[in-house]
Amino acid sequence: MGHEARRRSRRTGRARVSAAQRDKGAAAKVCAKCGRAGSLHYRINRDGATVCTNGTVCRRRRSNAATPRLSADDYAARLEAQGGGCALCGTKPKTRRLDVDHDHATGEVRGLLCHRCNRALPTWVDDRWLIAAIEYLQPGSEVLLVT
């Protein structure tokens, strides 16, 4: 099996061309969503904007840019101030770091939460329901949630 035979597509039989060879003279394009410049893997979307074809990478870049970051020192200081555990339930992290909780409106970091509390927090937006649930769980209480 010669070198040329290995460089051909199994499906079509056509010779494969590397991305570098294919886009040798292509002009650099900028993704309208993530702002990344490059000459490979771009497409035109319905609005006519040039965007990355790999939407996952583009979304990850935008998400990481919007996610508040704490330096290692700030993380350690917050963790120590919280007693070494989750700000809500107090669980100490065993295998993974605590999640950085932040206010989405202001971007301000509120604290460090375990994964379970961080995932449950958005479901607790209705304070009346949460208060009724806490009272319901108290021994001897009879609470009816009126909506």
CATH 3.40.1800.10 placement within the chain: 69-124
Q: Could you tell me the CA-to-CA distances from 55 to 27, 30, 35, 42, 60 in Å, in that order?
A: 21, 14, 13, 10, 8
CATH 3.80.10.10 for domain 69-124, yes or no, is no
The first and second tokens of residue 122, run together, are 């958005």
pLDDT at 81: 92
Whole-model pTM? Answer: 0.47
Split at pLDDT 50, 70, 90, the class of 5 is very low
Rounded average pLDDT over 56-79: 72
User: Nearest to residue 69, comparing CAs of 28, 34, 30, 97?
Assistant: 97
Rounded average pLDDT over 37-59: 62
Q: Which residue has the higher pLDDT, 66 or 50?
A: 50
